[in-house]
Chains A and B, each alone.
Chain A
Amino acid sequence: MSRMLNFLRRHSSILIISGIGLVAGALVWGLHGPVAFIGALGVAFDVFLMVLPAMLAGLLLAGSLKQLIPAGALAKWMGEESGWRGLMVASLCGMVMPGGPMAAFPLVLVLAQAGADRGALIAFVVAWALNGFQRVLVWEVPLLGADFALLRFLCGLPMPFIAGALARRVPIRWAPPGATLPAEGATSPHAAASRPRAGL
């Protein structure tokens, strides 16, 4: 049962998209006829050819950066920081964080257990979701053009700071899952590695 739920979650994107695509395709065929249906497929194929080179380059960039920047380094920089500097470091980390939600949210958990505060974590999530370099370079610039992408990027730049600063004032208690143990019972290697440094 839980394995099936896991399967559905892992593939939720493709299942949901396929479902919507099938319904929308059937509607196009029914309402606008087969010519419009084939026309739409042609548009999709043109976009595919346009995006492909940039996407392959972006994935190679992300794959290489992941080897060059160890995850422990990110935790160290964001670890015990607070104030605007912490939010800035977290935002920068979010922007350079490559990969989809399957990579980013588990990393948030690791950072949380290493002692990053909720403001930094939320700045990280918002910066990753909104201004992640990988997404901007792979999707936004090729599809929407450099000018629009730059405008959009500039408008998104202050958002992680605002979200992080506001999050510190939201009166909801939160502890990272699995981090309710006392400090000695460090649950992850990153948490254990960052503790001695925090005491300096």
Chain B
Amino acid sequence: MTPGQFLLIAAALIAFGLALRRGVPTAQRALRETGQTITRVLPLLLVALPMAAFLAELIPPDVAAGWLGPESGLPGIAIASLAGGFIPGGPFVSFPLVLTFIKAGAGGPQMVALITGWAILGFHRVIAWEWPVLGPRFIAIRLIASFALPVLAGLLAGLLLPFFPHALVRP
């Protein structure tokens, strides 16, 4: 078990303990909520993990090492930012993909840009959820205000990367 997993499990138990102190009905609601999320997330996961693995198998390794490699610089960051926007689905898709890219030799700033592009631009989520709930004008304002941020995050990661020597460990 990694330290991160341990911290997470501890935090979950503490939060659940606090809910229990509020009374058994609160704890029951928390458990019901958790169960509902599991039944929603688990099918997604079971479909998404094979998809990410197949895609990783299809993407030639030199794409990760070349276009998105550590030497690709600002163009690589820009490509990664835009490509991130087109990754469909949630974290169950994007993070396994990024993991395979890192293993194949992608650069740190490029991967930060990819994740940021997926999170901020995420066109699939915009169309499926943001548009119906908040409307096209809100989306326009938000995208105008944030379309350059993935590139900025990538550049920032380039500055910070020397302080994180273990960020790109490739087993």
Tell me the A residues contacting B by CB distance below 8 Å.
9, 12-14, 16-18, 20-21, 24-25, 27-28, 31-32, 36-37, 39-41, 43-45, 47-48, 51, 53-68, 99-102, 105-106, 108-109, 118, 121-122, 125-126, 129-130, 135, 137-152, 154-156, 158-159, 162-164, 166-167, 170, 172-174, 176-177
CA distance A72 to B10 in the complex (A): 27
A167 CB → nearest B CB, Å? 4
Chain B residue at smallest Cβ distance from A129: B119
In addition to A61-B12, A143-B99, 8 A-B residue pairs with Cβ atoms within 8 Å of each other are A13-B88, A44-B50, A67-B26, A139-B92, A140-B115, A142-B4, A162-B145, A164-B145
Interchain CA distance A170-B169 in the complex, whole Å: 41
Q: List 28 A-B contacts (CB under 8 A).
A: A9-B132, A17-B93, A18-B47, A28-B54, A28-B57, A28-B58, A31-B58, A43-B53, A45-B49, A60-B16, A60-B34, A61-B8, A61-B11, A61-B12, A61-B16, A62-B33, A67-B26, A68-B15, A100-B40, A105-B129, A109-B133, A129-B119, A140-B91, A148-B167, A151-B161, A154-B160, A162-B145, A172-B140
In the complex, what residue of chain A is closest to B15 when comparing beta carbons?
A64
Given contacts A17-B51, A148-B108, A152-B157, contact A63 B34 (CB under 8 A): yes
In the complex, the answer to whether B30 meets A48 with C-beta atoms within 8 Å is: no
Given contacts A126-B120, A147-B166, contact A68 B53 (CB under 8 A): no
Q: Enumerate B2-17 residues with CB–CB distance to A below 8 Å.
A: 2-5, 7-9, 11-13, 15-16
- Nearest B residue (CB) for A109: B133
B92 to chain A, nearest CB (A): 7
Please state if B47 and A21 are interface contacts (CB–CB under 8 Å): yes
Contacts of A31 in B (CB 8 A): 58
Interface majority SS on A: helix, strand, loop or mixed? helix
- Interface 1/0 per residue, B97-138 and A, CB below 8 Å: 011001000001001100110011010110011101111011
Residue among A9, A59, A60, A145 with max Cβ neighbours from chain B (10 Å): A60
Determine if A145 and B58 form an interchain contact, defined as CB atoms under 8 angstroms apart.
no
**Is B74 in the interface zone, CB < 8 Å from A?**
no
How many Cβ-Cβ contacts under 8 Å join chain A to chain B? 287
Residues of chain B lying within 8 A (CB to CB) of residue A106? 133
B interface residues, Cβ below 8 angstroms from A = 1-5, 7-9, 11-13, 15-16, 18-19, 22, 26-27, 29-34, 37-38, 40-41, 43-58, 88-93, 95-96, 98-99, 102, 108, 111-112, 115-116, 119-120, 122, 124-125, 128-130, 132-135, 137-138, 140-142, 144-146, 149, 152-154, 156-157, 160-161, 164-169
Contact A59 B141 (CB under 8 A): no
Q: Which residues of A contact B156 (CB under 8 A)?
A: 154-155, 158
Using known A-B contacts A155-B157, A163-B149, determine if residue A101 contacts B57 with beta carbons closer than 8 Å: no
